[in-house]
Amino acid sequence: MAVAPPSYCFVAFPPRAKDGLVVFGKNSARPRDEVQEVVYFSAADHEPESKVECTYISIDQVPRTHAIVISRPAWLWGAEMGANEHGVCIANEAINAREPAAETEALLGMDLVRLGLERGTTAKEALDVIVSLLEEHGQGGNYYEDASSCHSFQSAYLIVDREEAWVLETVGKYWAAEKITEGVKCICNQLSLTTKMDAEHPELRTYAQSQGWWTGEDEFNFSQVFSLADDHLDCCAGRESLEKQEESITVQTMINILRDKASGVCIDSESFLTTASIVSVLPQNRSSPCIHYFTGTPDPSRSIFKPFIFVDDVKLVPKAQSPCFGDDDPAKKEPRFQEKPDRRHELYKAHEWARAVIESDQEQGRMLRKTMLELEKQGLEAMEEILSNPAPLDPAEVGDLFYDCVDTEIKFFK
């Protein structure tokens, strides 16, 4: 069975989070050489009976999809993490469970992240979208751009809006979910739900009994029933990082947690690397905008978190998008992944130079990292000003916010 990459997703609610803000974050641990791109899709109306082509299969499209911004491995359709115009954020985790994940091509967990964002106006609505599509189409297929073997996983999701979060954990089409409205929560690449479930698949318990995994007599504990032996309740690195924060949790706190290699939250191993990160701040006061910070580059400890705000006229950022190979893409042809095209975008290439300089750890590297953090700080301070300003946001001022930040970063590296 393939080893699930140790990604971490976090959410903090007031009063643990500061100033009536919900703070969400994720590190996406993926194969080391995989490129992630940051892509914006505007809201759109669709023809009746039209289809949407996901990574491996096509499914029925809905009449209207919401505007979304996502960070995704450049070869697939779905998303590792992202947000929509209604302040819904979703991230997923690849997990192993007692029941092996299907290798048959169906929806990937990452496709379901994007579908939830495109179709849900609240966290609960997105959850309902995901579980109904799971029931209809199932999950399965290769999680990696790898022709030599199929790495398939079950999925867990952290789905967050301004008011609540849902932890959704799935095994095949079966699932359980817990609602969270206070405190902090971390999910990782293992099942974490125990006896507190606020929603579940109607046949979940019957199925567990039919497999001989639960007697029906003792209390039903989801992760005990569905985890591989000795594999549940061990997301401690992420949970400890979050719980040991004595101050209120802010965007900066979340960024610091995601950058922490010593705790294991920031992955830099032989096989896996944190290839992209996100932090979102969702004000519970609806007159304030949600702000989403993306790196679009690997290793958050050597990356700049750049802000994005939804407005009607968002400027697209081709420099953070990978080249498009259309129908010639080896990920779209069968047999799949016979070649690996160069998917590096302009931001990724510029950042490769910066990483090499920082890794050499000479004076130049230290100075470079200092300047990168200074650049990031300016962005964070400008966003704080927007959140503390009672005047309505001027869309013209932020439509090219992410574009300008990416542009500045590339120029700076050159």
As annotated, the active-site residues are: 9
The SS3 assignment for 62 reads coil
Opening angle at CA 233, ends 169 and 259, nearest 5: 85
Residue burial 8-19, b: 16+ Cβ < 10 Å; e: rest: bbbbbbbebbbb
Torsion of CA 317, 376, 304, 110, to 10 degrees: -70
Q: What are phi and psi of 164, to 5 degrees?
A: -155, 165
Neighbour count for residue 32 (Cβ, 10 Å)? 14
- The per-type count for the chain, helices as H runs and strands as E runs, is 10, 18
Tokens of 287: 């007159």
- The CB density around residue 138, as the number of other CB atoms within 10 Å, is 16
Checking phi first, is residue 255 left (phi over 0); if not, alpha (psi -120 to 50) or beta? alpha
Q: Is the dihedral of CA 373, 237, 5, 308 positive or negative?
A: negative
Q: Which amino acid is at 70?
A: I
Rg, the chain, Cα only: 20
Which token pair is 127? 């959850």
Helical (H) or strand (E) element with 273: strand 272-283
CA distance 345 to 214: 49
The count of other CB atoms within 10 Å of the CB of residue 128 is 17
Q: For 135-184, what is the HEC assignment?
A: HHHCECCCCCCCCCCCCCCEEEEEEECCCCEEEEEEECCEEEEEEECCCE
- Contact status, residue 275 vs residue 343, Cβ threshold 8 Å: no
The CA-CA-CA angle for residues 103, 269, 236, to 5°, reads 80
**Under a CB-based contact definition with an 8 Å cutoff, are residues 74 and 57 in contact?**
no
